[in-house]
Amino acid sequence: MRGLSTDERATVERCADAPMLDQVRAWAAVNSGSRNLDGLAAIAEILREEFAALGPAELRDPAPVETMAADGSLEPLAHGRNLHLRVRPEAPVQLLFTGHMDTVFGADHPFQQVFWREEGVLGGPGVADMKGGIAVMLAALKAVEASPLAERLGYAVVINSDEEVGSPGSAGLIAEAARGKKAAFTYEPAALPDGTLAGARPGSGNFSIFLEGRSAHAGRNPEEGRNAILAAADLALRLAAARRDGLSVNPARIDGGGPNNVVPDRATLRVNMRPRTAELQAVAEAALREAVAAIEAAHEVRAHVHGGFARPPKPLNRPAERLFQLVRRCGADLGQDIGWKASGGVCDGNNIAACGVPVVDTMGVRGGAIHSSEEFLIVESLLERAQLSALAIMRLAQGEDL
């Protein structure tokens, strides 16, 4: 370590006392897939008790969410509660820290066990994404709380239950918590196992388009039918044709159809669109409108569109660049080489940046193979990243400008 004040050195050294590995192993043993409400309730209560060491922690109900079923009907979709706490909201420096308790592994997924892949490398569901990150966040904040600088620092913590499905029930809470904050850290795992951070991110929009045609006998009078499956396939091709540099379009699924001797009158197309900029998001929205209108005219069907851009694009603007540079300098003082690169993935960092708050959203552990049964955590990175966070928080509390 170099260039650290006495208080900074004491703070980063305190991170070594945190039981991060034990926490990750215990937390990852609790299945908390995004749709496993019982598992989410269990891990939420565990985390509420852990974070209560920082201040009053509460579990907030999610906002109401609707989803489109295969038949085009809208029905409620339940999500878990979200952890929220506020510490010293009157302090001069206000920060936001976010993470997610949910994983992509449902209760029926075969990947459930936490185990050693090799010495120093822990495998298990969510060990990197992101129960390891939550442990890092908690260790860093506890270390800073014991510092004389703590009184200068106020912050909010949000750990949501639905990040892996786009944060539909928690986006409002995140926006509320981001209000008035100088900067934010989100504890997604590093973009690469070497610790590289994710910089710019595209936006992401998920859409379900229900197409209503007219049924008819496939042999006797097919000309009187209006084939919704054919319309959905045509729509998928038209939307795919909107792809361009900086805008990806992925038609992902068509639901519908029936017996071979009936012209299908209902179909639902699911599609994801990822624009790199706000301008390209507008292009994507226009392409969707135009394609839907063209399909309605060409196939004489009615279309009902559900969904939107839950994740706005996250460009790397000047305040964000300055925050990255602060983190890089902190890494250098700790002997860590910190770089960053653009990512094709999205996360709650997109939503925070859209609130006008600079954010580094990969402050979590080093690991890899996330969203697969090969997921792993490099254990030594728990202390590395906790110390990196603690030092960056200390320097923000001391008034480093962004």
pLDDT of the residue at 267: 98
All structural domains of the chain with their residue ranges: 6-201+314-397, 204-311
pLDDT of the residue at 253: 98
* Model confidence at 3: pLDDT above 90: no
Averaged pLDDT for residues 79-96: 98
* Model confidence at 402: pLDDT above 90: no
pLDDT digits (tens, 9 = 90+) for 307-338: 999 999 999 999 999 999 999 999 999 999 99
**Fold (topology level) of 6-201+314-397:** Aminopeptidase (3.40.630)
Least Cα distance to 308 among 279, 271, 276, 344 occurs for 271
% of residues, the chain, pLDDT over 90: 98
Indicate the pTM of the whole model: 0.96
Distances, alpha carbon 171 to alpha carbons 148, 175, 184, 346, in Å:
33, 6, 15, 14
pLDDT of the residue at 176: 98
* Model confidence at 1: pLDDT above 90: no
pLDDT of the residue at 48: 98
Tokens of 158: 């949000």
Least Cα distance to 383 among 128, 14, 5 occurs for 14
* Model confidence at 121: pLDDT above 90: yes
Runs of H (alpha helix) within 216-316: 228-240, 278-299
pLDDT of the residue at 77: 98
Are residues 11 and 135 in contact, defined by beta-carbon separation less than 8 angstroms? no
* Model confidence at 387: pLDDT above 90: yes
CB atoms within 10 A of CB 260: 8
Averaged pLDDT for residues 117-138: 98
Averaged pLDDT for residues 294-298: 98
pLDDT of the residue at 134: 98
Amino acid (one-letter) located at 263: V
pLDDT of the residue at 64: 98
Least Cα distance to 282 among 292, 270, 273 occurs for 273
**Does 204-311 match 6-201+314-397 at the fold level?**
no
pLDDT of the residue at 2: 82
Averaged pLDDT for residues 94-120: 98
pLDDT of the residue at 288: 98
pLDDT of the residue at 401: 82
Residue 64 falls in which region: left (phi positive, over 0), alpha (psi -120 to 50) or beta:
beta
pLDDT digits (tens, 9 = 90+) for 155-176: 999 999 999 999 999 999 999 9
Helix H, strand E, coil C: the string for 65-116 is: CEEECCCCCEEECCCCCEEEEEECCCCCEEEEEEEECCECCCCCCCCCCCEE
* Model confidence at 23: pLDDT above 90: yes
* Model confidence at 400: pLDDT above 90: no
Averaged pLDDT for residues 191-220: 97
Specify the 3-state DSSP secondary structure of 275.
strand
Q: What's the CATH class of domain 204-311?
A: alpha beta
* Model confidence at 50: pLDDT above 90: yes
